[in-house]
Structure 1
Amino acid sequence: MDPTSTPRHTDRFKMGNTDPIPSSSPAFGTPARPFRMNKSNAPPTKTSILPILLPPSTLRPVAFRTFTRKHNLTISSSALQTLAAFVGKNCGSGWREEGLAEKVLDEVAKIWKRAGGGVIVEEGKGASLKAILQTLEGSMSGGRVVAGKQSNSADRSGNISSMGADVGRIDLNDHSQGGSFASRSADNEEDESQLSVHPRHWLKAIEAFDLPRLTYNVDKKYFETLKSKPTLFPPPSHKTTLYNLVYQRLLRNESFQSSLGMAGVPSLQRSSSNLATGQSYKLTPIANLLGRSGTSHLLLGLLTTSPTGDLSLVDLTGTVSLDLSHARMIPEDGAWFAPGMIVLVDGIYEEEEMIKGSVLGGNTGVGGSIGGHFVGVSICGPPCERRDISLGTGNRQGSGELSSSGGFGWVDFLGIGSERAQGARMRRIQEKCLQGEREQESQTETSAAPPRLKVAVMSEVNLDNMRTLDALRKVFSSYNDLALHERPQTFVLIGNFVQTAVINGGGRAGSIEYKEYFDSLAVVLSDFPALLQHSTFVFVPGDNDPWAAAFSGGAASTIPRHPIPELFTSRIKRAFTTANAELDRSHQNSTPAPPGEALWTSNPARLSWFGPVHDIAIFRDDISSRLRRTAINTKTDEDEPELDTTMHEALENDTVTTEPESAPAAANKPDTSSPAATMARRLVKTVLDQGTLAPFPLTMRPVLWDHASAIQLYPLPTALILADAEASPFCMTYEGCHVMNPGRLLPEGAVPTVRWIEYDVLRNRGKVREDRY
């Protein structure tokens, strides 16, 4: 056949001819032999998928195996229904036989975790499931995820997460099993080498009103964000959040868990226990006490004072009168117990009987007050829980096994990213910052000391006292003479900034005088421009500061409370602006440090360093004196009947455990036999066990319940600055949380002395410092 002749039309329609270009034609000058596309350049043949209607119940076993067992996630019913519709549409009848559904669900779970989604897969939990599926659908062919396929829907979907993870930038890498999304998350996509390596760049002061408004969902056993507008009169369910937090925390304690199938798990009971091995303690709801007179029970409830003046115990099911005249505190003199606190009471329920044998005592329905009274044998606070256990990131009892309790690592408690989503990245950034500090120190010293991130904390800074300005000048001058890397990165100044309530009509200070006090402080700060240029100053108000003092008269005002208004702080801000303008940062060898600044925050407040890595809570309140005034007293009768106290000893053994101090910290530790040290231990244990900064009734310490997340200590912060002017200064660690009280800046005494605390963030240890001026 002539190679230049035109073939017959029938040849072009032979079976198996797949050439996209027809044969040559002399009229159009086409070549004799058509160009054939290589197999690698040929477009993929799109396999048609016949959609099916896949019930969610049918997909549930595959979803459970993929999300729960493989990725440690929990999928909600609404999300399961959405995934079932997606798999039925894009995978068709081969979702089970060919394993298409499992591969697709595995990709969805990976993207969800990289986007910072919560442990529960549902809409509004840190990532958008609909956006993930929309992007994934554009990258699928034949029910499989195709590597390198571009998705037009990715540009339309935008971000898949409120955390900032961008699906449009996710690449597909081929793997042995059909390809998978093996791209980096948004944290890894950002070039960490371009980030600032100065530690103060990663310091953030968070006001109480900027914290996420979280509430604990009892049904889902997870935290949810309140989307309603904050109000002064929230629904009663918002006020039960604290009880629900303590209750779920207590049930995760191993002493309250059944030991069936948990061999090898250590328990809290002592070796001398007469109980059977593996016994767990059970809580009895108050409503279940009816008809069980003469039996012993363990109750968890809120201590309250009844209208008749008697003590009562309240839980979500009812109220019972409480008799603690023969109760024993656990530990002895180790904590305060006052109305408004949640306590564990072990004792015997006794009913009141008439001649006819009927039961007296008011309403016996659920939620009401039941008759009789509960005779307490022992009372203690709920056991505290370490931060790593609450976040599910720590080891159990020092073993290599990860703890199964907790698991709230995906919850963003501070609004800066959760521990699971940001913790690893922030620790890498912290290491780079510390490495930069080491290199800078090695250039100036022959033997560089370990890098430190120091915070100087001063409390009860009464600016209307002229001695306070002299004391501050002494503290600032002592740090101003040090090298740059030895100075504190942050100075925390805590009120009250005046000795009497301001702007309430009865005090000496009005608005003009109050502003003049801060103007005087600005003059003192202007004498130390080096500190203003390289440090961050944080100001936390007290009850005497405006504007709360205008109507409270210095009494306990509503918490959380707003920062000091800008009306009084303009002169101090001007001092920082002037100092920063005089510093030329262009000649620094390392990455330019952020300018010094003054931050005016709320009470309480949080300091976050490197995201969730270092969480420092700050609260100004004379809480110890309020506890001493309202605490209940119990009398132990010498003729008390012999009862089984094994459970009491087990709880005591658990609650009094504190973290051992290191050698340097132990040298600074006060004498444990002194009354001041005893009171400090009682104060720390009481506050941390309760899990709140205000364990009091509303009549004594009002709380804005729609912002109650700001006063909750769950999970425990890495450090707590509990500024109590009525207590002696101390630094001690309890269950991994380092608690510090700087006391008064000017302690009482004939010798003029200034006292403050120097806190080392990296070592999580504080030290009380004193100096004469």
Structure 2
Amino acid sequence: MINTQTRTSLPIKLQPSNLRPVVFRTLTKKHGLNVNSEALAVLTETISRKFGFDWKSIQTQQFLEEIAKIWKLQDRGIFIDAAGLKKVLKKITTKEDASRDQAQNQGQGQKAGRSDTLVDDVVMDDADEIQIQWQDYFKVISPNEQPISRFDRVRKQFAVTLRNERKDKKNKTPLLSRLSGNLKACVESKNNQYHLIMDRLSRNDNFQKLSMTSISNLSSLSKDGALLNNEITLIKNVLGRDGQKFLLFGLLSKNTSGEFILEDSTDYIELNFAQALKNQSSYYCTGMFCLVEGIYSASGGNSNQDQNYIGGLFYVSNIAHPPAEKRDKSLEAYGLVDFLGVHRQTGFPLSSHGDRVAKIPKQYRKKLVQMEKSLTNHKIIFLGSELHFDSIKVMEALKKFLHRLEVSIIEDEGRMTPLALVLTGSFTSRPLAATTTSATKISNSEFYKSNFDQFANLLSNYPQVISTCKIVLVPGDNDPWQSANSLGSSCLNSFPQASIPRVFVNRLERLLPRGNLVLAWNPTRINYLSQEIVIFKDNLMNKFKRNDILFPQDAELLKDPTDEMSGKERIDALIQRKEEHMSSKLKQARKLIKAILDQGTLQPFEKNLKVVDLQYDYCLRIEPSPNVIVLNDVSFDNFEVTYQGCRVVNIARAVHEGSRKFNYMEYLPSSKKFEFKELYF
């Protein structure tokens, strides 16, 4: 806060034209806010009276900064009008008076505090009076309920708006037309991802312009292979600089000749990977955004005949992913936006304005975290995927699991409350496919419905589970209606996958209390107080393994140096490496997690690997990174990996073929810990 207690400057009469340059530099150029003439007049009068002859001092700039921060936190838009400005000024004046009175009562001559504290206090005036109920902040949010968020590359902020449900219902455009038709939307989606990652890199100290003090410490790679201390160069700027070394960033793909190219917002360039060393801690596939370090040569390459191409060849020495960013840092950079739109349903005073979603102050978030830590009796249970209700073994396993859960609820007497059971499909062993005769179609539908009726009958034997837990159903490849076209093939499904139609689960819905059956999409999100939990089902590991690029130098790196040793020398070398040994499964898991978090999306591939409905592409974005990602990848084992503060777990198949072991896990939100469990049946 600005210290105005000792100011002695006499008020003066300023004209709006005097103040306009200062306002433009601070509010418009720096914060992207536009001040109309009436608001400028109000601001001129206030600053004339408040600062007088010192109106050109640093205090005026700090005062304008406070106005900008409060205006943005209250989500009043990009246009500052007179009425809104007067309300903000009134808040600032009230806080200054309160701080001055408090300082006088305590006999202290210190400053009232930082401007950040003032902003949080201003926003928290009404929020302090609200009693937080954890039930209001425990929501399962599917893509059709999630606010639409698009990155504005000009303002460097997210534009987040609530979904218009009426408009969505009126949208009768066929699904296949939406998936295949909009080329412009496809290009724009990749452009937004490029600019979002570039904005992330602009906050990373390793990719800033070099200062004189850091030149002596310049190195290409850190110990773990990450690129360090380099300024990113646009591809268009390498033209005419033959033989020089650069760091480039862009989309890795192939041209029509099958050559690797890198493309950014200015141009593209052909790549030569003959001597390239890649960071071994991640996967690399076409369709990803990568950092490449190397030397530009004006000659060479197979694309020099193209007049629209800058020419030359880029000899890559190192390649790496753009490093991910911790959730708190990203949220702070983007103004603590409520990306899931949960707070608008809770009575929070600044939850939304019209169709726009507001930002959540840091003090309010702290209250959510404090409550979160205090609720040590809460847990969420995730069952392994491929819960085929038409399988006798699966139903036997579920019966024993539900019995154990029922007994634990009774014996614990509320000390440990399971908030939700998350069940992930496919819920049938065969896809619900269209066939040639109408009679068969009916029988297929009835067969699928009977599976859920059978599960409802089983669940009815456990009243404590019914009254306590939400039942969340996440669809799989064999579930309707995508399976009618894909025949259960994951390659032919599209993301996001809509929920299971209610017509198949009406008996289950009648059994459970109102609101306790959640028909979720794939992917879907759970909001628990301050935490965002992403649930996603896909065979990601197989995709990464199949599409990982093998560079010429990789063959050398894969060779084991001990293979050429013999006798005692080889034994000694193996003993020395014992402590450094890490299982190949864990290495693969770490590589997968680093790839998706660095790319900031659950599908960092070319569009031919998976069709994405572009009107919901934001639901696949994981930037800012969530607190937890739960993968349901049946092509891989259970694992738990933490990267940049994001905890990622994989829960494999519920019941493996030939096994009598039921696979599930429990999550304790208060401590953010997972416990993998097995139940023999």
Match of 1:78 in 2: 34
Match of 1:737 in 2: 646
Which has the greater radius of gyration? 1
Match of 2:660 among 752, 756, 759: 752
1:345, distance to aligned residue in structure 2 (A): 1.8
1:721, distance to aligned residue in structure 2 (A): 0.6
| Alignment of 1:562 onto 2:470 | no
Match of 2:548 in 1: 631
Q: Tell me how far apart the structure 2 counterparts of residues 519 and 314 of structure 1 sit (CA, whole Å).
A: 53
Q: Percent identity?
A: 26
Structure having the larger proportion of residues in helix: 2
Q: Given that residues 116 and 421 in structure 1 are in contact (C-alpha distance below 8 angstroms), is that contact kept between their aligned partners in structure 2?
A: no
| Alignment of 1:523 onto 2:457 | yes
| Alignment of 1:330 onto 2:279 | yes
| Alignment of 1:343 onto 2:290 | yes
Match of 1:249 in 2: 200
Unaligned runs of 5+ in 2: 1-10, 104-111, 169-177, 344-356, 558-579
Match of 1:581 in 2: none
Q: Given that residues 544 and 553 in structure 1 are in contact (C-alpha distance below 8 angstroms), is that contact kept between their aligned partners in structure 2?
A: yes
Matches within 5 A, 1:104-183: 117=73, 124=77, 131-133=83-85, 135=87
- Secondary structure of 1:453 counterpart: strand
Match of 1:212 among 147, 164, 170: 147
Q: Tell me how far apart the structure 1 counterparts of residues 47 and 661 of structure 2 sit (CA, whole Å).
A: 79
2:370 aligned partner, one-letter code:
E
Q: Given that residues 455 and 760 in structure 1 are in contact (C-alpha distance below 8 angstroms), is that contact kept between their aligned partners in structure 2?
A: no
1:293, distance to aligned residue in structure 2 (A): 3.8
- Secondary structure of 2:323 counterpart: coil
Are the structure 2 counterparts of residues 83 and 723 from structure 1 closer, same or farther at C-alpha, using a change threshold of 3 Å? same
Match of 2:156 among 201, 214, 221: 221
Are the structure 2 counterparts of residues 460 and 62 from structure 1 closer, same or farther at C-alpha, using a change threshold of 3 Å? same
1:420, distance to aligned residue in structure 2 (A): 6.6
Match of 2:322 in 1: 382
Match of 2:370 among 431, 435, 440: 431
- Secondary structure of 2:450 counterpart: helix
1:104, distance to aligned residue in structure 2 (A): 10
Match of 1:542 in 2: 476
Deviations 1:586-611 (A, max 9, x none): xxxxxxxxx7712112111111111x
Q: Tell me how far apart the structure 2 counterparts of residues 364 and 191 of structure 1 sit (CA, whole Å).
A: 64
Q: Tell me how far apart the structure 2 counterparts of residues 764 and 753 of structure 1 sit (CA, whole Å).
A: 26
| Alignment of 1:58 onto 2:19 | yes
Q: Given that residues 60 and 80 in structure 1 are in contact (C-alpha distance below 8 angstroms), is that contact kept between their aligned partners in structure 2?
A: no
1:60, distance to aligned residue in structure 2 (A): 4.3
Match of 2:672 in 1: 764
Matches within 5 A, 1:432-581: 432=371, 435=374, 451-482=377-408, 483=412, 484-505=414-435, 510-555=444-489, 556=491, 557-577=493-513
Deviates more, 1:716-725 or 1:754-763: 754-763
Q: Tell me how far apart the structure 1 counterparts of residues 451 and 669 of structure 2 sit (CA, whole Å).
A: 31
- Secondary structure of 1:510 counterpart: helix
1:421, distance to aligned residue in structure 2 (A): 2.2
Q: Tell me how far apart the structure 2 counterparts of residues 388 and 605 of structure 1 sit (CA, whole Å).
A: 21
1:713, distance to aligned residue in structure 2 (A): 1.1
Match of 1:440 in 2: none
1:318, distance to aligned residue in structure 2 (A): 2.1
Q: Tell me how far apart the structure 1 counterparts of residues 82 and 678 of structure 2 sit (CA, whole Å).
A: 59
Are the structure 2 counterparts of residues 563 and 321 from structure 1 closer, same or farther at C-alpha, using a change threshold of 3 Å? same
Unaligned runs of 5+ in 1: 1-48, 148-169, 393-406, 438-449, 578-594, 641-670
Q: Tell me how far apart the structure 2 counterparts of residues 241 and 267 of structure 1 sit (CA, whole Å).
A: 31
Q: Given that residues 48 and 55 in structure 2 are in contact (C-alpha distance below 8 angstroms), is that contact kept between their aligned partners in structure 1?
A: no
Q: Given that residues 616 and 719 in structure 1 are in contact (C-alpha distance below 8 angstroms), is that contact kept between their aligned partners in structure 2?
A: yes
Q: Given that residues 222 and 228 in structure 2 are in contact (C-alpha distance below 8 angstroms), is that contact kept between their aligned partners in structure 1?
A: no
| Alignment of 1:318 onto 2:267 | yes
2:40 aligned partner, one-letter code:
A
What's the TM-score, normalizing by structure 1? 0.67
Match of 1:280 among 195, 218, 229: 229
Q: Given that residues 271 and 315 in structure 2 are in contact (C-alpha distance below 8 angstroms), is that contact kept between their aligned partners in structure 1?
A: yes
Q: Tell me how far apart the structure 1 counterparts of residues 651 and 423 of structure 2 sit (CA, whole Å).
A: 10
1:705, distance to aligned residue in structure 2 (A): 2.8
Q: Given that residues 73 and 361 in structure 2 are in contact (C-alpha distance below 8 angstroms), is that contact kept between their aligned partners in structure 1?
A: no
- Secondary structure of 1:379 counterpart: strand
1:465, distance to aligned residue in structure 2 (A): 1.9
Are the structure 2 counterparts of residues 378 and 110 from structure 1 closer, same or farther at C-alpha, using a change threshold of 3 Å? closer
What's the TM-score, normalizing by structure 2? 0.75
Q: Given that residues 453 and 760 in structure 1 are in contact (C-alpha distance below 8 angstroms), is that contact kept between their aligned partners in structure 2?
A: yes
Are the structure 2 counterparts of residues 109 and 292 from structure 1 closer, same or farther at C-alpha, using a change threshold of 3 Å? closer
- Secondary structure of 1:527 counterpart: coil
> What's the C-alpha RMSD, in Å, of the aligned pairs?
4.3
1:458 aligned partner, one-letter code:
G
1:527 aligned partner, one-letter code:
N
- Secondary structure of 2:521 counterpart: coil
Match of 2:521 in 1: 602
Deviates more, 1:460-469 or 1:217-226: 217-226
Match of 2:43 in 1: 87
Are the structure 2 counterparts of residues 268 and 461 from structure 1 closer, same or farther at C-alpha, using a change threshold of 3 Å? farther
Q: Tell me how far apart the structure 2 counterparts of residues 731 and 723 of structure 1 sit (CA, whole Å).
A: 12
Q: Tell me how far apart the structure 1 counterparts of residues 63 and 300 of structure 2 sit (CA, whole Å).
A: 66
Are the structure 2 counterparts of residues 764 and 308 from structure 1 closer, same or farther at C-alpha, using a change threshold of 3 Å? same
Q: Tell me how far apart the structure 2 counterparts of residues 182 and 288 of structure 1 sit (CA, whole Å).
A: 42
Are the structure 2 counterparts of residues 728 and 174 from structure 1 closer, same or farther at C-alpha, using a change threshold of 3 Å? closer
Q: Tell me how far apart the structure 1 counterparts of residues 641 and 422 of structure 2 sit (CA, whole Å).
A: 19
Match of 2:609 among 700, 706, 714: 700
Are the structure 2 counterparts of residues 469 and 370 from structure 1 closer, same or farther at C-alpha, using a change threshold of 3 Å? farther
Match of 2:348 in 1: none
Are the structure 2 counterparts of residues 82 and 702 from structure 1 closer, same or farther at C-alpha, using a change threshold of 3 Å? farther
Match of 1:391 among 321, 324, 331: 331
- Secondary structure of 2:240 counterpart: coil
Are the structure 2 counterparts of residues 391 and 695 from structure 1 closer, same or farther at C-alpha, using a change threshold of 3 Å? same
1:693, distance to aligned residue in structure 2 (A): 0.4
Q: Given that residues 254 and 268 in structure 1 are in contact (C-alpha distance below 8 angstroms), is that contact kept between their aligned partners in structure 2?
A: no
Q: Tell me how far apart the structure 2 counterparts of residues 279 and 738 of structure 1 sit (CA, whole Å).
A: 25
Deviations 1:521-565 (A, max 9, x none): 111221221112112222211232222222233333222232222
Q: Tell me how far apart the structure 1 counterparts of residues 470 and 68 of structure 2 sit (CA, whole Å).
A: 37
Q: Given that residues 123 and 361 in structure 2 are in contact (C-alpha distance below 8 angstroms), is that contact kept between their aligned partners in structure 1?
A: no
1:771, distance to aligned residue in structure 2 (A): 1.3
1:296, distance to aligned residue in structure 2 (A): 3.0
Aligned residues: 595
Are the structure 2 counterparts of residues 294 and 601 from structure 1 closer, same or farther at C-alpha, using a change threshold of 3 Å? same
- Secondary structure of 2:678 counterpart: strand
Deviates more, 1:705-714 or 1:500-509: 500-509
Higher relative contact order (CA 8 A, sep 6+): 2
1:381, distance to aligned residue in structure 2 (A): 1.4
1:268, distance to aligned residue in structure 2 (A): 8.4
Match of 2:106 in 1: none
Are the structure 2 counterparts of residues 325 and 466 from structure 1 closer, same or farther at C-alpha, using a change threshold of 3 Å? farther
2:149 aligned partner, one-letter code:
L
Q: Tell me how far apart the structure 2 counterparts of residues 530 and 639 of structure 1 sit (CA, whole Å).
A: 59
Q: Tell me how far apart the structure 2 counterparts of residues 614 and 341 of structure 1 sit (CA, whole Å).
A: 28
